[in-house]
Amino acid sequence: MSAVDPLVQVRGLVKHFPIRRGVLIQRKIGAVQAVDGVDFDVGRGETLGLVGETGCGKSTTARLVMRLLEPTSGEIRFDGEDITHLRGARLKALRREMQMIFQDPYSSLNPRKTVGSAIAEPFAIHHMLEGRHERRRAVQELMETVGLNPEHYNRYPHEFSGGQRQRVGVARALALKPKLLIADEPVSALDVSIQAQVLNLLREMQRELGLTMIFIAHDLSVVRHMCDRVAVMYLGRIVEIGSGDALYGSPRHPYTGALLSAVPVADPSLAHRARTTLSGDVPSPANPPGACRFHTRCPKAQELCSLEDPPLEDKATGTLAACHFPLTEEEIARIGVRSAA
Amino acid sequence: MSAAEPLLRVEDLRVEFATEDGVVHAVDGITYEVARGRTLGIVGESGSGKTVTAMTTLGLTRMQGAQISGRIFFEGKDLVALSDGELRTIRGNEIAMIFQDPLSSLHPLFRVGDQLVEAIRAHRDVSKAAARERAIELLGLVGIPDPARRVREYPHEISGGMRQRAMIGMALANEPKLLIADEPTTALDVTVQAQILELLERLQRELDMAIVIITHDLGVVAEMADDIAVMYAGRIVESASAKVLFGGPEHPYTWGLLRSIPRLTGSREEQLVPIPGTPPSLISRPSGCHFHPRCPYAQPDHSRIDPQLEPVPGEPSHHAACLLDASLRARLWAELHGGATPEEARASVGLPAPETPPAEALR
């Protein structure tokens, strides 16, 4: 399922955070296996969604791709170039090509800076558009593009609503015309009526600027709406990846099935579809179960699942899934989220 | 809304807070009722007054200097008129509440079990040992594995889902007749959310408890609620049974909410239609219909006339506060439901555009 001409290629990506004990002499007593062997490609102009529950490693994966974290092992290629261990000036140059939008528009803007200077910050960092008027014009154009009033250039973040602040975040991320945009839960802090404004803006920007996007969210409906392809993560691994249509229409991994069946649907006629309720909580990534990591919660688990780690392989319905006993047609139908179309 | 003698009946409730900037009209004359064993879903965005409504029912806004008027009848008693002491015998006993954030609602320095014991002994004259037995039983009831061990743990030692279960266990300690759940699953992952919703449904069946569930998530109310009230700027703008409301919503704000959420079964091409602008300030609310500045169907007189919550013709249990003609609303929704944009829907029923386009600053 690799794209033809990928902008981003990730192979065997691993990030373990050491757990240390001791004050002066620190001993490593374990590791949180936040990301543990992840492969994926993101094609040019494509949106890849990363979904999964808290602690599944989706944000860590994004931060690794952004090179905000140093990977433990594995390889990240961007635009054909190995960027896994870039440093100094070359890393700074790379940063212009990829930008990020964060979850919380309240804490990701400095309250003491005007939104104009927040949006101009990337120009300052990269010594671009040094003239004051030039820079101001560029910022106002950006504000216009994302649907903010350019006259509000000198206002402070507290004068804006949540949705407007997220627009500031988008403007700032687009300032350097990046090739890759990573959106980490960009709408989960916003009210329902405002969410759609920001989602529409992101889709519009992507279409106009030909952006490639990695879109992280825990809301499966939002991901469905935004993404061409979707990867489902569980405890640091991708358990299923495929096109949005295939993954939502014919999920083969029992975890994907459980996630989809757990989403409350705003339609009482569907409300009593079969829900696969998983028991218990996600195990700790510091001590994940062996073999298939999902076997402790999986409704279909058998002995093999606790002995052998299933590879991520083509399940002939359009997705790659890491499962010994993938969902059958019947089980998929019972989840009942297949679109009428 | 429902049966003969409701368990809870709220009548023309108003809650106002005086602040430096002016009076906040948090709740502005709302009326609703909940029968035994039924679930009412209150839907709205931040600042719509849904949480203040719930807190007022429990008398929790009193100490914040709120001006409260109206009546809240619980089993015939008016809670607004009760003294603080009398209210305390009801709160946590006959009416219990669970909150959005289970970490900040449990005391971090006390063991989970001790907090449950306290909740039990506040209303029952039982020994500590008996209360502890009951605490273990409650944790088991809400599906916490190995409850005898968990009662000795501190809140930070258990996961978010388990904390929410412990909160529910505490709320159920005295077998309340009414449970108010304020965004009970918002902080949780979907799989845990499904577990908690299922737990609430099961407990409701077993204890014949009435539930008021407050949420911004239309999916959650569709799954949980028998009846739904949609709140906007401190008022109920639409109320009906869940089936009727989702089958044929009447208020443009409800339409806006439904059209602005992506559907799990929707196609990738589906266009979301956001509600323009932002929710109003509750200090200086728009004149007339509070929703008119954001409403794509607003007409000139809608900024002058204040709409009342009135029954929808032919559907006496369905109420909406909208100045548009009912037959016009039906045609508009038919268009919107078929995928038309608000502009297209307006054009096809021959409704002129609003004088000032809805909140032009945002598309």
Q: What is the pLDDT of residues B210-243, one digit of tens each?
A: 999 999 999 999 999 999 999 999 999 999 999 9
Residues with Cβ < 8 Å from A146, sequence gap 6 or more?
Answer: A167, A168, A170, A171, A174, A201, A205
Number of H helices, E strands in chain B: 13, 12
Measure B200 CA to nearest chain A CA, in Å: 14
CA distances from A81 to A8, A10, B302 (A): 9, 12, 60
CA distances from A332 to A257, A258, A319, A328, B260 (A): 7, 10, 14, 6, 27
Asked which of A134-138, B157-161, B272-276 is least confident by mean pLDDT, the reply is B157-161
DSSP 8-state symbol, B2:
-
* Partner A contacted by B82 (CB < 8 A): no
Paired tokens of B131: 């209360």
pLDDT band at B361 (very low <50, low <70, confident <90, very high): very low
Q: What pLDDT score does A268 carry?
A: 77
Nearest to A263 among B190, B195, B259 (CB): B190
Contact B266 A224 (CB under 8 A): yes
Q: What pLDDT score does A1 carry?
A: 46
* Partner B contacted by A256 (CB < 8 A): no
The C-alpha atoms of residue B175 and residue B61 are separated, in whole angstroms, by 24
Pairing relationship of beta strands A319-321 and B22-34 according to DSSP bridges? unpaired
Chain A window 190-219: which residues touch B at a Cβ cutoff of 8 Å? 191-197, 199-200, 218
Rg (CA), chain A: 21
Q: What is the tens place of the pLDDT at every residue in B191-212?
A: 888 888 988 998 899 889 999 9
Measure A268 CA to nearest chain B CA, in Å: 5
* Partner A contacted by B161 (CB < 8 A): yes
Contact residues on chain B for A49, CB-CB shorter than 8 A: none
Tokens 């309240």 identify what position?
A106
Interface contacts (A, B; CB < 8 Å): 153
User: Is B79's pLDDT higher than 90?
Assistant: yes
The C-alpha atoms of residue B285 and residue B288 are separated, in whole angstroms, by 9
Paired tokens of B342: 């608000």
pTM (2 d.p.): 0.89
Q: Which parts of B156-257 are beta strand (E)? A: 178-182, 210-215, 227-232, 235-241
CB B277 within 8 A of CB B293: yes
Q: Which residue of B has its CA nearest to A272?
A: B223
Paired tokens of B201: 């449904």
Pairing relationship of beta strands A212-216 and A180-184 according to DSSP bridges? parallel
Q: What pLDDT score does B362 carry?
A: 43
The C-alpha atoms of residue A167 and residue A186 are separated, in whole angstroms, by 10
Taken as a whole, chain A contains a residue count of 341
Burial of A128 per CB tally in 10 Å (0-12, 13-18, 19+): middle
The helix or strand, by DSSP H or E, that contains position A89, with its residue range, turns out to be helix A88-95
Count of C-beta atoms within a 10 Å radius of residue B361: 12
CA distances from A54 to A166, A279, A280, A317, B196 (A): 22, 16, 14, 28, 16
The C-alpha atoms of residue B153 and residue B353 are separated, in whole angstroms, by 61
CB A140 within 8 A of CB A171: no
Q: What pLDDT score does B358 carry?
A: 67
pLDDT band at B15 (very low <50, low <70, confident <90, very high): very high
Taken as a whole, chain B contains a residue count of 363
Q: What pLDDT score does B106 carry?
A: 87
* Partner B contacted by A263 (CB < 8 A): yes
DSSP 8-state symbol, B93:
T
Question: Which of A199, A225, A255 should we substitute to test contact with B (largest number of B Cβ atoms within 10 Å)?
Answer: A225
pLDDT band at B143 (very low <50, low <70, confident <90, very high): confident
Q: What pLDDT score does A15 carry?
A: 95
φ/ψ of A325, rounded to 5, equals: -130, 75
pLDDT band at B4 (very low <50, low <70, confident <90, very high): low
Mean predicted confidence (pLDDT) in B111-123: 91
pLDDT band at B2 (very low <50, low <70, confident <90, very high): very low
| Ordered mean pLDDT values, 10 residues apiece, chain A (341 residues) | 76 93 81 93 95 90 94 95 93 92 85 93 90 92 90 90 89 93 90 86 90 93 93 96 93 94 82 71 86 92 94 92 93 69 33
SS3 A176: coil
Contact residues on chain A for B339, CB-CB shorter than 8 A: none
Q: What pLDDT score does A272 carry?
A: 59
Closest CA to A117 of A146, A149, A143: A143
Query: What is the rounded (10 degree) CA torsion for A172, A175, A179, A180?
Result: 0
Question: Which of A166, A267, A338 should we substitute to test contact with B (largest number of B Cβ atoms within 10 Å)?
Answer: A267
Q: Residue B269 half-sphere exposure, CB side, CA atoms within 13 Å?
A: 3
Q: What is the tens place of the pLDDT at every residue in A115-155?
A: 999 999 999 999 988 888 999 999 999 999 888 889 899 99
CB B113 within 8 A of CB B169: no
Contact B274 A197 (CB under 8 A): yes
User: Is B357's pLDDT higher than 80?
Assistant: no
Assembly ipTM: 0.84
The mean pLDDT value of chain B amounts to 89
Residues with Cβ < 8 Å from B132, sequence gap 6 or more?
Answer: B113, B117, B151
Mean predicted confidence (pLDDT) in B126-143: 90
Chain B window 172-231: which residues touch A at a Cβ cutoff of 8 Å? 189-195, 197-198, 216-223
Closest CA to B81 of B68, B95, B94: B68
Identify the bridge partners of residue B23 per DSSP, sorted by sequence position.
B18
φ/ψ of B116, rounded to 5, equals: -70, -40
Measure B318 CA to nearest chain A CA, in Å: 16
Q: What pLDDT score does A336 carry?
A: 67
Paired tokens of B166: 């412990």
